[in-house]
Amino acid sequence: MSENGRTHEAMVDAEVEPRAVRRHYTSEYKQRILDEIDQVREPGELGAILRREGLYSQIISKWRQQRQKGTLRDSHQAKRGRKADARAGELARLQAENQRLKARLERAEAIIDVQKKVSRLLGGDENEPEAGK
């Protein structure tokens, strides 16, 4: 029971959808509506179109801006949220290359250390110049 004494089931209205559904518009639909709105000459025609289609003037303004920029596309194609940093891919590539080069350097240093030890074992001193040179 809720605070007002009614059960939750009694408060649920069967005619109300449980959650809103996002509408998706194709680019062809957007262009058709914008073309139709551009042809409006009589007062009230624009409002009639918006009511008929169930649209708001704000979305028409957004579509006009998109059309002007050349980015009018299907709404389900537009990605929502924070845009990826253009430099992120380059940064990831450089970090991977840096790791690869560090590993290569470590292998090279290990080989050089082994060569020094072999040289000492064989009696050569790397600090003295070779005889004959």
Each residue's pLDDT tens digit, 16-33: 667 777 788 888 999 999
Q: Report yes or no on 45 lying in a domain.
A: yes
Tell whether 111 is covered by a domain. Answer: yes
Q: What is the sign, positive or negative, of the torsion defined by CA atoms of 50, 53, 56, 61?
A: negative
Total domains in the fold of the chain? 2
The answer to whether position 9 is within a domain reads no
Q: Report yes or no: 51 and 71 within 8 Å, Cβ to Cβ.
A: no
Question: Does 39 fall in a domain?
Answer: yes
Specify the pLDDT at position 87: 86
The residue behind tokens 């042809």 is 39
Question: Tell me, what's the pLDDT at 4?
Answer: 43
Host domain of residue 54: 24-77
51 assigned to some structural domain: yes
Tokens describing residue 57:
């003037």
Same domain, 103 and 71: no
Verify that 30 and 70 share a domain, yes or no: yes
> What is the per-residue pLDDT across 66-119, written as a single tens digit (0 to 9) for each?
888 888 777 666 666 777 777 888 899 999 999 999 999 999 999 999 999 999
Q: Which of 11, 12, 16, 55 is nearest to 33 (CA)?
A: 55
Same domain, 28 and 73: yes
